[in-house]
Chain A
């Protein structure tokens, strides 16, 4: 199993997002005042400054906006992983996440910008939180 770094708490902006991940949900926020989609999670709307936010659950489907295959990394948990992807995925609900696209036999050849992907919650060797990653559909 992979052993990606875990989120750490207390961190008030992202706590609810990660509680969602633990429950198998990809959560995002919308603003009740101006209907802006708010992501990365925070406690105010980045368009109007209001604090009247609603938490929603995404279907977890979207497309690859861009990606890179990291072939040289000195980071613990990744150094040993071999080539791995880092990607921005645009969710159908209108928010963009930094993530990884997993499951491609050869990530340097088998992933294209615009590919449809779906979230999965990847179990980790250690730590309480699975990590949301995406797989091509």
Chain B
């Protein structure tokens, strides 16, 4: 919880706002004693809006949408979202570990006997994608290559990889990815996000408060939320982003082709591939043409750039990465990224929470430069 407190303080300082200005508290109920009941007391806030939406890693995109809505409705003026996790220090095997289910549920009784890991859910989506569209292992690997390139330019990402004792903290090639060991067919180690510590906070304020902030604001211009789950006869290569994306783009009145920065939840390469397609950056099944030859690298002339902080694949993934997608989008639109894209005006932060291929959520937020 202290990580949340320190992150909120840093974010308020960055905006030139005071602790006592906060009147909206958004939290994903993670960590010890947090959530709607305990967190305000710990922090010392007396918020008039408390929102504890918990929909997995995309909780922060959902909460951003809700904070925007609540501020527009006049329910609060200064909202904070925060996150802090010590998954790495606690050695949590998020991807490969088992989950204890002491109380049987509808889901645990139908799935617990098969040893599915978090990773195997994503692996099954990738396998189906390869089968349906003829996509290739090399195309998926390119996502890891671009992400690592950006991570190597981000000192915090390099530090995270160093702390976690990554083998080979350097730029990687498609061959490196395909030579890394398979965790669950057809996903290689270098297609999987790390398990790190991490935290952060975001301040969302009303337009009148934003006029006087220390730094120029970034504007929320569209949002969308959706859920998707396994259905009889359903297509698991299509994510909730296919529903949340068009809603957000319509509200923002922009087209995918106008976006400069795509911050896409990269729990695994397949998550990025499906979400890029579902948000309309590539026709379904054809993300490969979009990511080829480093086209989404920050220094490539192609309009769109992907995951400039180094992503969950190579900078941090403490369990729920959604907040960091928003933070890096803000950095890009303020010109503060370590892989800055010149003239970046529009960014999309798209979170995918839960299990791609199983029950998951998609939260899309579109942001614009001041």
In B110-131, the 8 Å CB interface with A consists of: 110-117, 119-120, 123-125, 127-128, 131
Tell me if B115 and A4 are in contact (CB < 8 A).
yes
Binds A, one of B70-78, B177-185, B214-222: B177-185
Residue-wise, chain B 96-114 has the 8 Å CB interface mask toward A (1 for contact) of 1110010011111111111
In A4-55, the 8 Å CB interface with B consists of: 4-11, 13-14, 17-18, 37, 39-42
Q: Across the interface, name the chain B residue whose C-beta is closest to A112.
A: B131
Of A11, A90, A99, the residue contacting B114 (CB under 8 A) is A99
Residue-wise, chain A 38-74 has the 8 Å CB interface mask toward B (1 for contact) of 0111100000000000000000000001111111111
Name the residue among B98, B109, B123, B187 with the largest chain A CB count within 10 angstroms. B109
Set of chain B residues within 8 Å of A70, measured between Cβ atoms: 115-117, 119-120, 184
Of A71, A78, A88, A99, the residue contacting B182 (CB under 8 A) is A71
Interface size on B, residues (CB 8 A): 40
Report the minimal beta-carbon distance from B310 to chain A, rounded to whole angstroms.
24
Tell me if A98 and B110 are in contact (CB < 8 A).
yes
Known: A69-B184, A98-B116. A37 touches B106 (CB 8 A): no
Set of chain A residues within 8 Å of B231, measured between Cβ atoms: 96
Provide the bound-state CA to CA distance between A74 and B113, in Å.
Answer: 14
Set of chain A residues within 8 Å of B127, measured between Cβ atoms: 66-68, 113
Of A71, A73, A90, the residue contacting B185 (CB under 8 A) is A71
Known: A7-B112, A40-B110, A67-B124. A74 touches B232 (CB 8 A): no
Q: Across the interface, name the chain A residue whose C-beta is closest to B127.
A: A66
Tell me if A4 and B113 are in contact (CB < 8 A).
yes
Provide the bound-state CA to CA distance between A65 and B232, in Å.
Answer: 11
Give the size range of A's interface with the partner.
35 or more
Known: A9-B104, A11-B105, A75-B98. A68 touches B184 (CB 8 A): yes
Set of chain A residues within 8 Å of B182, measured between Cβ atoms: 69, 71, 108
Q: Across the interface, name the chain A residue whose C-beta is closest to B107.
A: A40
Give how many A-B residue pairs fall within 8 Å (CB-CB). Answer: 131
At the interface, yes or no: A103 with Cβ under 8 Å from chain B?
no
At the interface, yes or no: B303 with Cβ under 8 Å from chain A?
no
Tell me if A66 and B124 are in contact (CB < 8 A).
yes
Known: A11-B104, A66-B127. A86 touches B113 (CB 8 A): no
Tell me if A68 and B96 are in contact (CB < 8 A).
no
Provide the bound-state CA to CA distance between A67 and B236, in Å.
Answer: 12
Of B114, B125, B128, B233, the residue contacting A86 (CB under 8 A) is B114
Report the minimal beta-carbon distance from A34 to chain B, rounded to whole angstroms.
14
Report the minimal beta-carbon distance from A25 to chain B, rounded to whole angstroms.
16
At the interface, yes or no: B255 with Cβ under 8 Å from chain A?
no
Tell me if A84 and B115 are in contact (CB < 8 A).
yes
At the interface, yes or no: B46 with Cβ under 8 Å from chain A?
no
Tell me if B113 and A6 are in contact (CB < 8 A).
yes
Provide the bound-state CA to CA distance between A8 and B293, in Å.
Answer: 50
Tell me if A77 and B115 are in contact (CB < 8 A).
yes
Report the minimal beta-carbon distance from B101 to chain A, rounded to whole angstroms.
8
Tell me if B233 and A96 are in contact (CB < 8 A).
yes
At the interface, yes or no: B93 with Cβ under 8 Å from chain A?
yes
Provide the bound-state CA to CA distance between A71 and B232, in Å.
Answer: 27
Tell me if A74 and B98 are in contact (CB < 8 A).
yes
At the interface, yes or no: A117 with Cβ under 8 Å from chain B?
no
Provide the bound-state CA to CA distance between A91 and B350, in Å.
Answer: 34
Set of chain B residues within 8 Å of A39, measured between Cβ atoms: 232
Known: A13-B106, A72-B184. A81 touches B114 (CB 8 A): no
Report the minimal beta-carbon distance from A104 to chain B, rounded to whole angstroms.
12
Q: Across the interface, name the chain B residue whose C-beta is closest to A65.
A: B128
Of B97, B106, B108, B233, the residue contacting A75 (CB under 8 A) is B97
Q: Across the interface, name the chain B residue whose C-beta is closest to A10.
A: B104
Q: Across the interface, name the chain B residue whose C-beta is closest to A83.
A: B185
Tell me if A76 and B98 are in contact (CB < 8 A).
yes
Going nearest first, the 3 A-B pairs with the smallest beta carbon separation are: A75-B98, A68-B123, A78-B115
A-B CB contact pairs (8 Å), 14 listed: A14-B109, A40-B106, A66-B124, A67-B127, A68-B186, A71-B183, A72-B184, A73-B115, A73-B117, A75-B117, A81-B115, A86-B184, A94-B232, A97-B110
Sample of 11 further A-B pairs with CB below 8 A, known A68-B127, A72-B119, A88-B230:
A7-B109, A7-B110, A9-B104, A17-B110, A66-B128, A71-B184, A74-B97, A86-B115, A86-B117, A94-B233, A99-B114
